[in-house]
Amino acid sequence: MSKHETQKGIKFMDTRTKKRFDKNPPRFIEKALRDYVRTSPQNRLDSFGGATIFDEPLVGFADGDDPIFLNYKKVVHADHFTPREILVKYLTEVKQLEALNPSQISVVSFILPIARQTRLSNTLEKEGPSLRWNHTRWQGQDFIDDLSAHLVSVLEEAGFHAVAPEISPLFKIYNLPDGFASNWSQRHMAYAAGLGTFSLNDGFITKKGMAMRCGSVVTDLKLKPSERPYKNHLANCRFHATGKCGVCMQRCPYGAITEKGHDKMKCVDALFVKQKPWIDGDCGSGYIGRYAGCGLCQTGVPCESRIPVRNSKR
Ligand code: B12
Ligand code: SF4
Ligand code: SF4
């Protein structure tokens, strides 16, 4: 490897690699993510002949001091971190570094579209997820954790501080009377980084569609923010844009989606109770994880792999 180790044990990039990084940091980061997704053996479904879990990622950047992040304390949860809060807290409390006040903060958000074969298999299902979708839920999330840690290392090796909030000890999920909320919502990061919008069923619609999983990293490297090419936080959903669609309502076997939106409590009941037979082996063997993973509302719908609205800017 073209890296060397300092006395403090921190690895830095060699001069040539650092030059390439400094020439165009966003391009370097995008390439690092793309290469990892393409080559990592972790992005493979062992039980399906090593088929790919995720296709090439979409990558976006946000200014960590964008006022939108303060708004997330209202729309997500009062304890939802701003990027600056989580980076500073992580560095001082977890890494035990001296008090820091970085002059700039950026968020790198990435979308991992789910492979076509997996989407197809889930489209054929009517009551619970396909085995392939279930493995994507759990092995796919392990891969996202791994990819996030990889990006943190790349940024640290380039001389910057970085944290992947969801895999840090600061990450929390709150069990609320009307569902769950976390203190670091990946979809809200993706929204800020111009990668897509929410929808009738809460799912996030990107230009590669809704059948995806996502992640993010916060750093004190300055990155030019991506444009947010939409009018509001629901613009990519056909139902919100035209008043028609609602295909996801029919796709949900448990009535958790209506014209009023996504009933999180019904969805939670479906995931943890109604679909327990899948995990218990009553609906086929080989299912893994704490729950089967459903996602029927993300497949067999017009927004599965694209934005189903002609111009969501309008
Ligand atoms: C808690 C959680 C759940 C809960 C609650 C889901 C929810 N809607 O919050 C339950 C258990 C029900 C759940 C189910 C599922 N989940 Co889940 N879940 C999470 C988790 C851990 C946290 C989400 C969170 O904090 N939400 C906060 C709540 C308050 O926000 P919200 O409902 O998303 O957002 C609404 C408001 O903020 C509102 N809003 C109002 N005003 C404004 C203004 C602005 C400016 C904005 C931006 C938004 C906004 O818009 C949103 C939509 O109504 C994330 C991982 C993460 N760290 O982000 C995964 C995550 C959201 N889940 C995911 C997935 C895939 C699923 C499932 C398909 C199951 C599976 N196979 O994993 C189902 C799908 C259910 C559905 N229809 O969305 C993906 C989403 C991918 C996508 N395409 O959208 C995530 C991001 C995981 C990942 N790493 O990719 N999940
Ligand atoms: S299926 Fe239609 S209504 Fe449902 S989220 Fe997708 S575009 Fe919106
Ligand atoms: S994840 Fe399943 S139960 Fe939840 S809203 Fe979508 S289809 Fe319904």
pLDDT in tens, 184-210: 999 999 999 999 999 999 999 999 999
Question: Using a 6 Å cutoff on CB, does residue 233 contact ligand 1?
Answer: yes
Under the banding of pLDDT at 50, 70 and 90, the label for residue 284 is confident
Task: To the nearest 10°, report the CA torsion of 7, 8, 9, 15.
Answer: -70
Over range 243-271, report the average pLDDT: 97
Residue 22 lies inside a defined structural domain of this protein: yes
Residue 312 lies inside a defined structural domain of this protein: no
- For residue 122, give its domain range: 3-243
Residue 195 lies inside a defined structural domain of this protein: yes
Asked whether the whole model's pTM tops 0.85, one would answer yes
Task: To the nearest 10°, report the CA torsion of 228, 232, 235, 239.
Answer: 170
Indicate which atom in ligand 1 lies nearest the CA of residue 213.
Answer: 90
Q: Is the pLDDT of residue 314 over 80?
A: no
Residue 258 Cα to ligand 3 middle (Å): 11
> Could you say which ligand is closest to the alpha carbon of residue 168?
1
Pocket test for ligand 1, best of 58, 185, 305 (most atoms within 8 A of CB): 185
Residue 48 lies inside a defined structural domain of this protein: yes
Q: What is the DSSP string of 217-233?
A: EEESS--PPPP--SSST
pLDDT of residue 100: 81
Supply φ then ψ for residue 299, to 5 degrees: -130, 155
What are the tens digits of pLDDT across the range 72-86? 999 999 999 999 999
pLDDT of residue 225: 98
Residue 189, CB half-sphere, CA atoms under 13 Å: how many? 28
Question: 15-23 and 25-39 are packed helices; what angle lies between their axes, rounded to 10 degrees?
Answer: 110
pLDDT of residue 11: 75
Q: Helix count (H) and strand count (E) of the chain? A: 11, 12
Over range 270-283, report the average pLDDT: 94
Question: Using a 6 Å cutoff on CB, does residue 236 contact ligand 1?
Answer: no
Residue 289 lies inside a defined structural domain of this protein: no
Q: Is the pLDDT of residue 166 over 80?
A: yes
Q: Whose CA is closest to atom 36 on ligand 1?
A: 75
Residue 298 lies inside a defined structural domain of this protein: no
Residue 265 lies inside a defined structural domain of this protein: no
Work out how many domains the chain is built from and give that number.
1
Residue 232 lies inside a defined structural domain of this protein: yes
For residue 118 the two structure tokens come to 């997996």
